[in-house]
Amino acid sequence: MSNLLANLGVAAGALDAFTQVLQVTQNNVANASTPGYARQTQTLNALPFNATFGDAGGVKAGVIESARDEYAETAVRQQNVLLGAASQNVSSLTSLQTIFDISGNTGIPYALNNLLQSFSAWGQSPTDPNARQLVIDRATDLAGAFNEAASGLGTVAQDAEQQIGITVTEINQLVGQLQQYNTQIMGGDNNDAGLDAQVHSTLEQLSQYGDIGASQQENGSWTVMLGQTQLLVGAQQYQISNDMEEPSNPPPTNANAPPLAVIRGADGTDITSTITTGQLGALLNFRNAVLPSYIGDAYQQGGLNIMAQQLADRVNGLLTAGNVSDGPPAQTGTALFSYDQTNATNVAQSLTVNSATTADQLAAIDPGPPEVSNGVPLALSALANPQSAADEIDGVSYSSYYGNMASNVGSLLSEATDEQQVQQSAVAQAQNLRQQSSGVDLDQEAMTLVEFQRAYDANSRLISVLDQVTEDAVNIISVTTG
Amino acid sequence: MASGVIESLRRVHRELEQVCEMLLRPSPEALNDCEQRLARATVEMEASRPAWSEAARDRQAGEQARLVRHSLHHAQRLLENAARFHAGWRRRRAAMNGEYRADGSIPDLRCPARIFVEG
């Protein structure tokens, strides 16, 4: 009778154990699509069996093991950081490209071409009031095109600043969620699979914004870093903030220049230079390095301002050196353009045609000697195909200078788009590798790893060969395709 | 003649796109397949090399060559990432179990500067 009861006990214990296995399996199935969830396994432990001493044997449920592997999780987060940066670069550069039209049908290149053509037409009829008025009208159009481009860049800069603020807020919010999870974990929910899934899902979201480091402490809580900056330790969150600031060291060379974006740690320390990747790193690079190369900052004038100023100065210089009439006394010409002389980074934005300038004030006569009745418009029309350094900007014509700026934006966008595509695959690959490596048998894995090593070496050698061959192909085939 | 080069470059591009696709889920079998495809791509490129100069003024050929190069760099990045992942995984495994197998035997894979106990 006692044996029968013992056997029934064993059977009941086994049923309990298998019920727990079933529950864990059901939980795995239910959470198959839950972000951050890792498969769990219910371990089973055999109980002592010895009929002589009355040990009835059986089985009991052991600990629940998670298939999560932090190494694979980190690998996914590392690829996410790079994808965040690549996606942000595509977004930022796309907005920038809309301002730089390279078709020549709108904006600065169109207006510049029209102005140069009006100089040429004026050269053919130097005394024609209509030709002179056309020059003034075309110059007004060009000044307007510079204003529009500068305003557009200003809007792009403001958007980037807003986006930086939104990103900082999102980072703080996600770290705030992690801080709440830490509080729950430290309160005793250390083995909660649902909480573990939420932590990892949040860390994965957070990783798109920057170089996020996460490590689990002995009490189960998570410490989170952004580069070298602490964001979360136990229940303590350290919020970051953003600001716009005029740099002071070294002293600015451009007064009243646009400020730069700054990120600060919780103690107010400037951590901007430590954030170089992820969405936030890409935004900072765009706002503090890419945009200033066009609109300027405390230390550089910016390509668009340089072009506007040099063009205005050259046109004004030629016009004021000429004469409107022979005289006596000879009447000198008037400057066509004016701009803000107090702020080198505001030239394109402030460029205008003097409202008091009239057609009869434009000087066509080059006093020489020898005097040339249409010398000034001829010199102005030479800006289209410069023959001297005075008519060039940075060694090229004004049209080419603008074209180089625009094509640089196009190249950057093309590279960023390629990088985004590659990085999307890299994230998908890391996610697949995470899935493959979760809960693998390390003993079985040893031989597979040897196979992997051999295969990687073989593939790498072939890639190296192909790299050389395809480079030759591009060089030979593309060299004359232009 | 440019059409022949373009078609050849298209075939190479297709092979490399397949390599990228397979590298998304790298396994020893998938990598073997990648190796064969990369070898085929190399042979195809070398075979078309004599005709490249004749396609030098062809914009379509230039674009196709650029696509091939982009796909190759894509594949290269995926291969490097996966190799780095498995190299790290291998180091981690070695650190966890000292390279011993579950039955106590020593693995074929020997790490330099590591003492193994046999017998």
Per-residue pLDDT reduced to its tens digit, A4-18: 666 666 677 777 777
How confident is the model over A306-332, as pLDDT tens digits?
999 999 999 999 999 998 877 677 788
B17-24 own/partner pairs: CB under 8 Å, 24+ apart: B17/B71, B19/B71, B19/B75, B20/A425, B20/B71, B20/B74, B20/B75, B20/B78, B23/A425, B23/A429, B23/B75, B23/B78, B23/B79, B23/B82, B24/A425, B24/A428, B24/A429, B24/A432, B24/B78
pLDDT at A31 over 80: no
Query: What does the domain layout of chain A look like in residue ranges?
Result: 2-67, 69-440, 446-482
Q: Is A360 on the interface with B (CB under 8 A)?
A: no
> What is residue A233's predicted lDDT score, i.e. its pLDDT?
96
Q: Give the pair of three-digit tokens for residue A351.
A: 């460029």
What pLDDT does residue A60 have?
A: 78
Nearest to A426 among B32, B42, B78 (CB): B78
Q: In the structure, what pLDDT confidence band is assigned to residue A438 with cuts at 50, 70 and 90?
A: low
Burial A406-432 (b: 16+ CB within 10 A, else e): beebeebbeebeebbebbebbbbbbbb
pLDDT at A24 over 90: no
Least confident of A57-66, A298-307, B58-67: A57-66
Query: pLDDT tens digit string along A263-276?
Result: 999 999 999 999 99
> Distance from B27 to chain A by nearest Cα, in Å?
7
Is the pLDDT assigned to residue A482 strictly greater than 50? no
d(CA A122, CA A374): 8
pLDDT lower than 50: segments of chain B: none
- pLDDT tens for A222-246 read 999 999 999 999 999 999 999 999 8
pLDDT at A481: 43
> Is the Cβ pair A428, B24 closer than 8 Å?
yes
Q: What is the maximum alpha-carbon separation in chain B?
A: 70
| Residue ranges per structural domain of chain B | 2-97
**d(Cα B109, Cα B78) in Å, to the nearest integer?**
25
Interface mutation target, options A417, A477, A480, chain B, most CBs of B under 10 Å: A477
Q: Which residue of A has its CA nearest to B96?
A: A442
Residue A338 has pLDDT above 80, yes or no: yes
Q: Is A17 helix (H, G, I), strand (E, B) or coil?
A: helix
Distance CA A308, CA A347 (A): 6
| A40: alpha, beta or left? (left if phi > 0; alpha if psi -120 to 50) | beta
pTM value is: 0.83
- Report the Cα A54 to chain-centroid distance in Å: 71
Q: Is the pLDDT of residue A2 over 60?
A: no
The pLDDT, as a whole number, for residue A443 is 59
pLDDT score of A221 more than 60: yes
Give me the helices (H) in A292-397, please. 292-295, 303-321, 347-350, 375-381
**pLDDT per position as a tens digit, A132-184:** 999 999 999 999 999 999 999 999 999 999 999 999 999 999 999 999 999 99
ipTM of this complex prediction, to 2 decimal places:
0.79
Tens-place pLDDT, residues A242-261: 999 988 888 888 888 889 99
Distance from CA of A481 to the nearest CA of B (A): 5
Indicate the length of chain A as a whole number: 482
Nearest to A393 by CA among A302, A320, A296, A306: A306
A contacts of B15 (beta carbons < 8 Å): none
Which of A467, A470, A471 best tests the B interface by mutation, with the highest count of B CBs <10 A?
A470
What is the spatial distance between Cα A236 and Cα A391, in angstroms, rounded to a whole number?
62
d(CA A68, CA A25): 15
Show which of residues 22-51 on chain B sit within 8 Å of chain A, judged by CB atoms. Answer: 23-28, 31-32, 34-35, 38-39, 41-42, 45-46, 49
Looking at every residue in chain A, the average pLDDT score rounds to: 88
Q: Scan residues 414-473 of A and list those with Cβ closer than 8 Å to B.
A: 418, 421-422, 425-426, 428-430, 432-433, 436-437, 442-443, 445-453, 455-456, 458-460, 462-463, 465-467, 469-473
Interface contact B74, partner A, CB < 8 A: yes
Q: Which of A449, A467, A470 minimises the CB distance to B89?
A: A449
Instruction: Return the closest-CA partner of residue A39 out of A48, A50, A27.
Output: A27
